[in-house]
Amino acid sequence: MNEVQRAHVYGFLAHALAYPRREIFEILSHGNILEAFNGLEGKLVTQAHQIIELLRTLGYEKVCEEYARTFGHTISTECPPYETSYGEAHIFQQTQEMADIAGFYRAWGLDLSSDAHDRLDHISAECEFMSFLLLKLDYFLSKGEKEAEEICLDSSRKFFKEHLGKWAPLFSKLLMRKASGGLFHQVAEILREFIEKERQLFGVESLEYTEKDFPSVAFEDGACSQCEPSGHEGLKEELKY
């Protein structure tokens, strides 16, 4: 799997896990999105095809309803799509984590779009950032820019190890439990398997969170926090697929 293929899978996941805005729904439900999976192993292609077919069957309004049932109108305590909902619960630690994530984005000239309604630690934002880095890496490789290539590779490996790779496995597990049999259960399966492949490819041993690191999780339907509702609308210079 080359850098562009990996970037496309991250991009697919970024769109699939974001709040289902109509324009994103149109991209995901279009058959051409499968071109992003050309050359990948059969299971990933099959899973992506199943998701696209389910999107078409459900339609935009039903997808929005399923998103709301899965993640709630406020931040779900069952499968929150935010990194800082996992691990150390102390507000100071959460602030430090958010600052570190922002530092990665800004180092590459990125920030949340001015019209975004979500936080930079959303699973969609972090997947989109990994997609961006891998496309950058492919560009540097094609131009023979060795120093830039090494910086980009180091940044992507470090972000994966310190952020996405730590919490995405637990998030995908909780999401599969919450969305059993539904659209987002299938999305979570791709996320779980792809993150494991990425961990092996990067050769990192991320200190993955377990459910013991997530004491606030509540497996009661309708449980939610008192935070404001939101929907990720992307980083500036949002990548198109």
**Which residues lie below 8 Å from residue 87, measured CB to CB, with a gap of 6+?**
93, 97, 166, 167, 209, 213, 214
> Is residue 130 a contact partner of residue 10, using CB atoms and an 8 Å limit?
yes
**pLDDT, tens only, 33-66:** 777 777 677 788 888 888 989 999 999 999 999 9
- Whole-number pLDDT of residue 94: 85
Residue recorded with tokens 């922002």 = 102
- Whole-number pLDDT of residue 14: 95
The CATH superfamily label for domain 3-213 reads: TorD-like (1.10.3480.10)
Residue recorded with tokens 């929005």 = 64
Residue 101, both tokens: 């994530």
Q: What is the DSSP string of 47-99?
A: HHHHHHHHHHHH-HHHHHHHHHHHHTTTTBSSS-SBGGGSS---HHHHHHHHH
- Whole-number pLDDT of residue 216: 55
- Whole-number pLDDT of residue 57: 93
pLDDT tens over the chain, length 241 residues: 899 999 999 999 999 999 999 988 888 887 677 777 776 777 888 888 889 899 999 999 999 999 999 998 777 778 999 999 987 666 778 889 999 999 999 999 997 665 666 789 999 999 999 999 999 999 999 999 999 999 999 999 999 999 999 999 999 999 999 998 899 999 999 999 999 999 999 998 867 888 877 755 433 333 333 333 344 455 655 444 3
What's this model's pTM, rounded to 2 decimal places?
A: 0.86
- Whole-number pLDDT of residue 210: 83
> Is residue 216 a contact partner of residue 224, using CB atoms and an 8 Å limit?
no
Residue recorded with tokens 């570190």 = 100
- How is the chain split into domains, by residue range? 3-213
